Amino acid sequence: MSDKYSEVGYGSGVIEYGERPAVVVVDFQLAFTDDAYPLGGLPMIDRAVDRTAELLRVARECGVPVAKCFTAYDSPRDVPHWKVQAVHDQFYFGHPCTAMDPRVDDPDYDFNFAKSAPSIFFLTPLTTFLHKERVDSVIVAGCTTSGCVRASVVDAFSHGYRVFVPTDCTGDVDDGPHQSNLADVGKRYCELTDAAAMMEWFRGGRAAESRRA
């Protein structure tokens, strides 16, 4: 089957590894990972959380910065016009659904913060953190692939970072949107990879050495 995008030049470049990577994790909060909540208990997301936990353990061992966000609001007045009822019902500071999934959380190491829009970058302190750490490469994990992960990839690209998406560290409600959105951002904004390749990069010394420079 022909690929019209490839035929006209999409996906023709390769993004090389930079010198100072960071892992950014989008919305692996209990609202999306615990079946006690309307949006939780999805197998694809559950698998992505487990794989991301492995990736983060290695990142921390190698001194790679880790930033994680959750979505939460002060009151219904500051909730955007989400077409997702659970957000309006539960996504408020102090609600247990906003807590990070413990499988991926290390509060003594990670930089954790709230966001209010799809992208992990939009009106958050993430860019300041990444600048302070002199990061040039952003590895995006989280959920959902077709929503907040995609928005975060586009913003990471727009800020000039080298962007990598380990596909086994992202998840969605359904495999179709998951695969189609990965394929699309991979043609335009990022390199599609997997957790194993990212862990090999970290362990290979380049990431760890760059943190000490």
Separation between Cα atoms, residue 15 and residue 183, nearest integer Å? 15
**113: CB partners within 8 A, 6+ apart:** 67, 68, 69, 124, 125, 126
Which amino acid is residue 213, in one-letter code? A
**Annotated catalytic residue, options 97, 143, 148, 169:** 148
What is the bridge-based pairing of β-strands 111-115 and 162-166? unpaired
Nearest partner of 142 among 181, 109, 187, 176, judged by Cα:
181
Of 166, 202, 134, 160, the residue nearest 26 (C-alpha): 166
The answer to whether 148 is a known catalytic residue is yes
Q: Shortest CA distance to 129 belongs to which of 155, 111, 142, 114?
A: 111
Task: Please give the positions annotated as active site.
Answer: 148
